[in-house]
Structure 1
Amino acid sequence: MIRFLFPILVLMAPFIPQGLFQSDFIDQLSPLFKAGNSQEIAKNFNPSIALSILKEEDVYSKVQAEQILRDFFSKHNPTNSTVLHLINTNPNMRFGILSLATKNGKFRISITSKRTNNVFLITELRIDQEK
């Protein structure tokens, strides 16, 4: 029976959607926020990113945004991060909301990303005090 199914599976492999067995982009970011790893998060930034942290917002370069995020993590040491909401129905865009627990309170993180050259890059990042 297995000898019969194996060739069928091999022939069907190219028709299985590429992202079917991969974790989602936002799910991959959550542990980086929990660790407060601004450098690894910034690797996923678009060259220019709309960044809003606690009502201070502007468009920054990738390097500037990483420094601002690092400063946020130094003031608010993360303890946990969970994915609250995820929209992944558009193959060229991802949107997610994370809950970030820190030693100074909880924050809501909104992430918007777009596919560029077959890779998702964060185009907008918002961090607000959780209500």
Structure 2
Amino acid sequence: MKKLLYIGVLLFLVFSLSQARSTDSTFNSIEGIVTVFQSGSSRELAKYFDSGIDININGNQGDYSKNQAELVMRDFFKKFPPVDFQLLQQGSNTDQIIYYIGNYRSEETVFRVFIKGKKEDQSIKVYSLDIVKGIK
């Protein structure tokens, strides 16, 4: 009887850990960032930020802490609520440095988004975010 209980607990732990890893990989991949831009959640986006991040929104540039950057992006999403975000290009300069280019569309405007980050322990840490107003 004890063996069945141990096997049951072991299977439960294995299943729980595999579910946790699949959830973590969503937060550590570009698909997660795309989803966050589509939903317009500054709180979820900030999970991808490095401890310090350079943000440039239409020429208004600044170096921000993770918390400050979340507030900047909250204001951006509030002013330009998302309609869609499409990833256009992705690449890497080295094994650690990565970049992504996408289109963020709000009701009024289309923005080109340039994301620069680094791979760190199976995760993406964004250190630069450029959002440039385009033509709709």
Q: Which TM class, normalised by the smaller chain length? A: 0.7 to 0.9
**TM superposition shift of 1:28:** 2.4
Counterpart in 1 of 2:36? 32
CA distance in 2, matches of 1:37, 1:130: 22
Counterpart in 2 of 1:62? 66
CA distance in 1, matches of 2:130, 2:29: 17
Q: Deviations over 1:87-107 (max 9, x none)?
A: 046321210011011012100
1:25/1:94 contact within 8 Å kept: no
Q: Which runs of 4+ in 1 moved over 6 A?
A: none
CA RMSD of aligned residues (A): 1.9
CA distance in 2, matches of 1:90, 1:83: 20
Structure 1: 5+ residue stretches without partners: 1-21
Q: Deviations over 1:91-131 (max 9, x none)?
A: 21210011011012100110000123442200000111024
Q: Paired residues, what number?
A: 110
In structure 2, the residue corresponding to 1:104 is in which secondary structure? coil
Q: Identity of counterpart residues, as a percentage?
A: 27
CA distance in 2, matches of 1:113, 1:33: 16
Q: Which TM-score applies when normalising by structure 1?
A: 0.77
Counterpart in 2 of 1:74? 78
1:47 equivalenced with 2:51 (yes/no): yes
In structure 1, the residue corresponding to 2:95 is in which secondary structure? coil
Structure 2: 5+ residue stretches without partners: 1-24
